Chain A
Amino acid sequence: MSDDASLNLFQQQDANRRRTVLLVIGFVLFFAWLGFGGDLIYYLYSRDAPRLAYHHTFPWLGIVLTVLGVAMAWYAYATGPEKVLWSTGAREVQDPTDPKERQLVDVVEEMAIAAGVPRPRIWIVDDGDPNAFATGTDPLHSHVAVTQGLLDLCTRDELEGVIGHELGHVKNLDVRLMTTLAALVGAVALMHDGSNRLLRGGMDEEPRGGGRKGGLLLLVLLVVWIISWLLAPIIAQLLAMGVSRKREYLADAMGAQFTRNPLALASALQKIENADAPTTHLKRGAAHLCIADPLARRLTGHEGFVADVLATHPPMAKRITILRGMAYAQLKKEGGSVASPGGLAAPGAASSEGSGM
């Protein structure tokens, strides 16, 4: 699976564009359901009310919530990268004076050339724990951020591997999907906090509703409706997790392809793994953007059903093993064709079998 990463790039980009659109549509539909569902319940509830009492006939709640959903989705898509960077407290590197920062800028420029994308803007998060993430909507508007800890800990080659991994995310448009998702997860969480108060207030009046014709339908609707309010943040979280795990392997493969040095990325991952402290500046909402789980959850170390459902990142040991396997294959290839000049594309050439459809 690592090898067909490069040649299926266009499919990968298409899939990411499509998924972003689906995500946004799903988000808006969810809001519409919350609104119009609420209207329907209120309509059924007030239908049997006395003549002069309020009858809920016009679905203003649905319309308001749908418009709100569209506005939030647009806002999230348009300002997602800034919001993510802002939430981590990153500062942009513009005119580096420190040799380490100079090196970072050089490495990013090199990797941008290797990946064939414009140079992303570079940010540093002042956090001692090594980690890195990429965000943006497309390769023209992309950002790469690393923590101070990563700069201090990694050698030049390792840094190159990590940046290659992040530019892999940029190139196949993972950043668009994951940033939009991060912004929407944040929006849902915010909305949920607000709505909880609203729901609790509404609960007191609820028992009077049942009893007559349509009472069962009303009850079922109400239960489903409340459950979807309660589940919204959980579903959003699960989505964020499911979306990110496979991508990490893919971005590892692309990073290895850009640097032609899978071992450097493997040792960088090892260092990141060993420095186990949680990255305090990277909050839960942005976890799926990072190269390694910033929360340092124990779960990430395991495979299996629970981890599959709950972890945002694949087990580090497995990623390192895969990268070492690539290095071994590369070594064997070079041993086989000693005279091959120019450092020709070993992974690129090998991947041609993958897309022969």
Chain B
Amino acid sequence: MVVVEQYPQLKATGNIGQLQEELTSTENKVAFARQLYNDTATQYNTKQQQFPTSLVAGLAKTQPADLWAIEDQAERAVPQVDLSMKPKA
């Protein structure tokens, strides 16, 4: 009887862990995609200013690429999920 009652709770813990993992992973994927873009853009901008490639860049009138910055620090954090199911005050 006791075992039966404990089981659903254990399962729920696993589900929450799974949800947490998925949230973290999704957030990381967004962050790493942004990082790759920024790395590549930085590389591109640097090449425009460096000697041999800067000549070509001058001829082609290239513009430096904009970096993708985050102003709001909260956007970067893993979103907090409230699963306590307490009624909102």
Contact = CB atoms under 8 A, between A and B. Distances in A.
A306 interface: no
Nearest to B41: A345
Interface string A75-99: 0000000000000000000000001
B25 A348 contact: no
B42 A106 contact: no
Contacts of B39: 6, 257, 345, 348
Interface in B1-50: 14, 17-18, 21-22, 24-25, 28-29, 31-36, 38-40, 42-43, 46, 50
A228 B63 CA distance: 58
Contact of B25 (A110, A258, A342, A349): A110
B61 to A, nearest CB: 22
B69 interface: yes
B55 to A, nearest CB: 14
B25 A345 contact: no
A341 interface: yes
A118 interface: no
Q: Is chain B's binding surface mostly helix, strand, loop or mixed?
A: helix
Contacts of A342: 34, 38, 67-70
Given A99-B18, A341-B71, A342-B70, A116 B36 contact: yes
A10 to B, nearest CB: 11
User: Which bucket holds chain B's interface residue count?
Assistant: 20 to 34
Given A110-B32, A113-B29, A113-B32, A356 B50 contact: yes
A352 interface: yes
A348 B42 contact: yes
Nearest to A9: B43
Contacts of A345: 35, 38-39, 42
Contacts of B28: 106, 110
B1 to A, nearest CB: 28
A344 B71 contact: no
Contact of A103 (B21, B36, B67, B68): B21
B46 A109 contact: no
Interface in B45-63: 46, 50-51
Nearest to A260: B35
A111 B17 contact: no
Contacts of A341: 69-71
A102 interface: yes
Contact of A99 (B21, B29, B36, B70): B21
28 contacts: A99-B14, A99-B17, A106-B22, A106-B25, A107-B25, A109-B29, A110-B25, A111-B32, A113-B29, A113-B33, A113-B36, A114-B32, A114-B35, A114-B36, A115-B36, A116-B36, A156-B24, A257-B39, A341-B70, A344-B67, A345-B35, A345-B38, A345-B39, A345-B42, A348-B43, A352-B42, A352-B43, A352-B46
Interface of B: 14, 17-18, 21-22, 24-25, 28-29, 31-36, 38-40, 42-43, 46, 50-51, 67-71, 76
Q: Would you list the 3 A-B pairs with minimal beta carbon distance, nearest first?
A: A342-B69, A114-B32, A106-B25
